[in-house]
Amino acid sequence: MSSRKGFTVWLTGLSGAGKTTLAVLLATQLRARGVRIEVLDGDEVRANLSKGLGFSKEDRDINIRRIGYVCRLLSRNGVGTLSAAISPYSAIRDEVRLAVEQEGAKFIEVFVKCPITVLAKRDVKGLYQKALSGELKGFTGVSDPYEEPLAPDVVVETDRESLDFSIRKILQALEQRGLIPNADLSRPRRVRSVLSQSWKRHAQRSSTVRAAGRGRSLTLLKRLFLKRQIRKR
């Protein structure tokens, strides 16, 4: 796998749409194929790399640029990167795409689409209801803008598709671009039972899913930034 180029899969969508769930399960499948992969979860980046930033447009842009910077570094060094962050503004997403592609790596934008009515039902914390009632201000998609991608490379509709189907759509996009090896259909699918579960169940277990990838992501952030071991270009 060392001869394969790195890439960035940029999962964008509203809170609760399923970005982290997709990223963690995609990482499991990709590692099973021998792909070097890292996951950058938006919440974990805010807690570590972007600690102290607020939710103004300026701070949101800074946060996404930092995630994009890590994606660029990893992708140019042959690592596949899965970014799971709301990233509400199209101009910054396009900026990150350009930066990654200028390094000779591929950027695949995945729009994780789900209507707010469904997200509100999934939301066990009740944040959408608070935002819709006006109690919670600056909530993306309700009282703060979310600019949907105009021409995403992949669209997954998590209110209509099974988790398994959404995963396969993204994997197929990577296969078609020659970024990952095709699946060995002769081998048993060890994660089939996990991927066949409903989106609702995964939404209720979102904190558990994030915890599953926390150690790897935090280690990466410490290596790249907190310990400042990046070689200057």
Please tell me the distance from the alpha carbon of residue 111 to that of residue 157, in angstroms, as a whole number: 8
SS3 string of the chain? CCCCCCEEEEEECCCCCCHHHHHHHHHHHHHHCCCCEEEEEHHHHHHHCCCCCCCCHHHHHHHHHHHHHHHHHHHHCCCEEEEECCCCCHHHHHHHHHHHHHCCCEEEEEEEECCHHHHHHHCCCCHHHHHHHCCCCCCECCCECCCCCCCCCEEEECCCCCHHHHHHHHHHHHHHCCCCCCCCCCCCCCCHHHHCCCHHHHHHCHHHHHHHHHHHHHHHHHHHHHCCCCCCC
Active-site residues, by number, are 87
In angstroms, what CA-CA distances link 68 with 42, 45, 211?
11, 11, 22
| Per-residue pLDDT reduced to its tens digit, 161-216 | 999 999 999 999 999 999 999 986 555 444 443 443 455 555 555 544 454 444 55
Domain boundaries, the chain: 7-226
Please tell me the distance from the alpha carbon of residue 7 to that of residue 4, in angstroms, as a whole number: 9
Angle between helices 90-102 and 57-76 (to 10 degrees): 20
Q: pTM of this prediction? A: 0.82
| Per-residue pLDDT reduced to its tens digit, 33-60 | 999 999 999 999 999 989 899 999 999 9
Dihedral sign (CA 68, 14, 21, 150): negative
| Per-residue pLDDT reduced to its tens digit, 88-101 | 999 999 999 999 99
Q: Please, which pLDDT band fits residue 4 given cuts at 50, 70 and 90?
A: confident
How is residue 123 written in tokens?
Answer: 């939301």
Quickly name the fold that domain 7-226 has.
Rossmann fold (3.40.50)
Can you give the pLDDT at residue 5?
Answer: 83
Picking from 84, 18, 91, the residue whose alpha carbon sits closest to that of residue 46 is: 84
